[in-house]
Amino acid sequence: MSHSDTHLHHHEEHLQSSDFITDVVIGMSDGLTVPFALAAGLSGAVSSSDLVVTAGIAEIVAGSIAMGLGGYLAGRTEADHYQSELKREYDEVERVPEREKQEVRDVFAEYGLSLDLQNAIADELAKDKKKWVDFMMRFELDLSEPDPNRATKSALTIGLSYVAGGFLPLLPYFFVESPIDGLMWSSVATLICLFVFGYFKSKITGQPPVSGAFKVMLIGAAAAAAAFSIAKYTV
């Protein structure tokens, strides 16, 4: 939300998370949950911790690449979409200015402004094509200009956060023989981390932190319990 710096007092009051924090949350949220639940599922079905570790590593690699590259692709798509809509709007204010002016009026008609005022706004905006197009991009199409390096940064942040989150639940399985022992330590460590993670995530998004922490922890526990039961009874 690049325009927020024009509203300084809101900047402070309305808690906003940066793109970086958002990406860390996206990556770590799945990274803590999915490898944890996969390892839990396998613990109910195999007899060696080594297998859980192998599968866990394969999952972390697969998940971080899929999420990281997926984030990259999403970022590129967003940037391309913005550019193609920008080009279209420049073309339209040139080719069919009256229709574009009508669209400006429509935006304000929705908010009950008088026809006189709608006309005055449309006429003044039309004096500066760049600002007119910027206005249409944001207020008609609801698009804000993406950071050109966002895709790459996003890919790396999401991918690495997934890896960081994913190794924690896997760690105990490195040190024990029996997967069930691994599962016990993994559950304790991961549920604590999910709670702490959920607490901060909720704070960042402006939600009640304690109930948010419980929700995040319960999702992890539910996924692990379901994977454990299903893997156990399908073998």
Subset of residues 164 to 203 that bind a copy of itself, contact rule: CB under 8 A: none
Rounded to whole angstroms, the Cα distance separating 56 from 51 reads 8
Quote the least distance from Cβ 191 to a copy of itself, whole Å. 14
Among 142, 119, 118, 122, residue whose Cα is nearest residue 132: 122
Residue closer to a copy of itself (CB basis): 24 or 34: 34
Q: Which of residues 209-228 bind a copy of itself (CB under 8 A)?
A: 215-216, 219-220, 222-224, 226-228
Among 33, 49, 154, 186, binds a copy of itself (CB under 8 A): 33
Task: Select from 11, 14, 18, 91 the one that contacts a copy of itself (CB under 8 A).
Answer: 14
CA distance 63 to 83: 30
Q: How far is the CB of 181 from a copy of itself (least distance, A)?
A: 18
State yes or no: residue 137 binds a copy of itself (CB under 8 A). Answer: no
Nearer to a copy of itself, 157 or 228 (CB): 228
Q: Does 73 bind a copy of itself (CB under 8 A)?
A: yes
CB of 106 to a copy of itself, least distance (A): 6
47 lies in the binding site for a copy of itself (CB under 8 A):
no
Distance CA(54)–CA(47), nearest Å, equals 13
- CA dist., res. 57 & res. 68, Å (int): 16
Cα(2)–Cα(134) distance, integer angstroms: 13
DSSP-derived 3-state class of residue 17:
coil
Q: Which residues contact 139 (CB under 8 A, 6 or more apart)?
A: 107
Q: Out of 91, 124, 147, 177, which residue is the one contacting a copy of itself (CB under 8 A)?
A: 124
| Tokens 């996969």 found at | 38
- In the complex, what is the shortest distance from the CB of residue 21 to a copy of itself, in angstroms, rounded to a whole number? 14
Q: Is 24 in the site for a copy of itself (CB under 8 A)?
A: no
Determine, following the binding rule CB under 8 A, whether residue 11 of this chain makes contact with a copy of itself: no
Q: How many residues bind a copy of itself (CB under 8 A)?
A: 86
On whether the CB atoms of residues 38 and 227 are closer than 8 A, the answer is: yes
Q: Which of 19, 134, 145, 181 binds a copy of itself (CB under 8 A)?
A: 134
Stretch binding a copy of itself (CB under 8 A), from 124-132, 146-154, 181-189: 124-132
CB atoms within 10 A of CB 15: 10
Rounded to an integer, what distance in angstroms lies between the CA atom of residue 50 and that of residue 177? 8
- Specify the DSSP element, H or E, that contains 117: helix 115-125
